[in-house]
Amino acid sequence: MNKTVVSGYSGAIKGNGGRIVLFFLLFLLAIYEFVTAGFAPFAIVCLIPVMVLAVILAFRYKMACFWALFIINYILHFAGRHHLMPSGIPMSLYNEGLEILLLALALIVSPSESKFSRSLNLMLLAILLWCGLGVAEVLNDTCGLGYNIGAWFAGFRLLCFQLVWTHLIFTIYIDNPERLNKLLKVWACLSLFSVYWTFNQKYFGFTPSENLWLQTAGRTHIIQGGTLVRFFSTFSDAANYGCNAAATAVTFMVIGITSRIRTDKIFYLLTSLAVVWGMFQSGTRTAIFCFAFGIMVFLVLSKSVKIIVPSAIVFGTLGFLLVFTNVGNGNQQIRRMRSAFNKDDASTAARDINQDVMKKYLADAPWGIGIGTGMENVPSNNKFRKLSTLPPDSEYVFIWIRTGVIGITVFLIAMAMMFLGACWIVFFKLKSRSLMGIGAGICGAFAAIQLGGYGNQVLLQYPNGLIFFGTLALVYTFPIIEQEWVEYEEKRIAVIEEKRLLKLEKKKEKEKLIKYRMDGIK
């Protein structure tokens, strides 16, 4: 018996000797790191097998890796606030790690396929134009502090390179109608989770982690003498949530209006209404303008009088009630949103004063103070110290401070190129009304979040950058998949119709049976 056991062990060692030795060496390395360097390096070494396993699984389940990226990107702030992710790891690392892995998979698996040809379009050109400006900023020494390559690269990754990763990954992996449909459904479900969490915050209270944040960094979310709270749901803050909700609501409202499938129409319209409710709970006044602007873009792209006239009447009436009447003034959130139209608002005046100061300094800094340069880099006796300490309040102002009038001009040109290119495709190239609706909804959302970026620092915040730049990249692929989309849609409609007829047939048979039994009783 003992000989059998020993021979079994020896056989296992012979078959897996290399793996056993490797794990033993990793174990020794982990112990060494724990003794000499502490717990953090020990934990990293222990995670190496997990990372290897994750890479192996990624090769086998590539789309699971994409969905993980999309979902993690959406809940990063929520997970971080509630300590659901390891501390000490930069938030951007989760996104970038998965993005690089996905690109590596696209290059390694089936390398003969031309996966990147779908990405070669006007939007990529616009992104590369902006990245070119970002590369030039490495030589920016406006503050006279020398060249800080590390600080520049950290800012360059987040401001420029993230857009390249996003564009490539979405155009490579969302390459057929089924995946496009699933992406919209996953996005809608995540948005509904944010609405649910808003409801939870409003009616059941904040978690201890959320309360701690509200009393420290989020003090500005408690306003009007403590009688009104701006809810932030799963996002970093209420401004980020409100602008995201406005843009998301535009997308799903448009898809709901234009969808040919009744269940989808109901699902997306209800999702949109729920997200609009959440938008109002955020108390973000910019969100009202974002939503209205996104709807206007849709109406222009719709090319349909049947859609334009009733939509214009409905949204025009709602806008009139909000701006020119006191309807709903009993609700604090509605009063808060209505104050967006007050020209004498104190917060708007403060922003104008700050921007006047910025203009004076930036007159001597056409390239800005430099990407990656902030309060921690600029000493107190430096001429441009004031610029590094003023709150930017918006994404556009942040970029203006870092890259100057030259950089913000290039950024605006790049954004206009990618937006107008997508609108051109929707307006002139697509024939399918439902696919045009998806494209118009995405273009409207992109316009909405751009306006949000003008009023708040939300444009490249998580989860907005990946969602809105990624889905806009998909619009450029719509002419390629349009025929597949039409066939996919017809197939879904046929299946639904077949189920409806089958259900009707069963109903008729049941009625006949009941009638037959009644006749037998008589």
HEC-encoded secondary structure of 190-237: HHHHHHHHHHHHHHHCCCHHHHHHHHCCCHHHEECCCCEECCCCCCCC
pLDDT tens, position by position, 477-496: 999 999 999 999 999 998 88
Dihedral pair phi/psi, residue 283, rounded to 5°: 65, 20
Residue with tokens 């616009």, as numbered in its chain:
126
Confidence tier at 447 by pLDDT (50, 70, 90)? very high
b/e map 401-417, b = 16+ CB within 10 Å? bbbbebbbebbeebbeb
Task: Please state, rounded to an integer, the average pLDDT across all residues of the chain.
Answer: 82
Tell me the residue length of the chain: 522
189 vs 275: CA distance, rounded Å: 11
Contact between residue 279 and residue 445 where contact means Cβ atoms under 8 Å apart: no
Res 198 pLDDT > 90: yes
Q: Residue 122's pLDDT is what?
A: 95
* Of residues 145 and 428, more confidently modeled: 428
pLDDT at 42 exceeding the cut of 70: no
Digit-coded pLDDT (tens) for 366-399: 888 888 887 777 777 777 787 777 777 789 989 9
C-alpha–C-alpha distance, residues 146 and 443, integer Å: 41
The label of the residue with tokens 């040809």 reads: 117
In terms of average pLDDT, the best of 17-21, 93-97, 180-184, 502-506 is 180-184
pTM, rounded to two decimals: 0.85
Average pLDDT, stretch 142-167?
Answer: 87
Residue of 111, 89, 24, 99 whose CA lies nearest to 58: 99
Could you read off the pLDDT of 159-171 as tens digits, one per residue?
898 999 999 999 9
State how far the Cα of 400 lies from the Cα of 392, in Å rounded to an integer.
9
| Mean predicted confidence (pLDDT) in 409-415 | 95
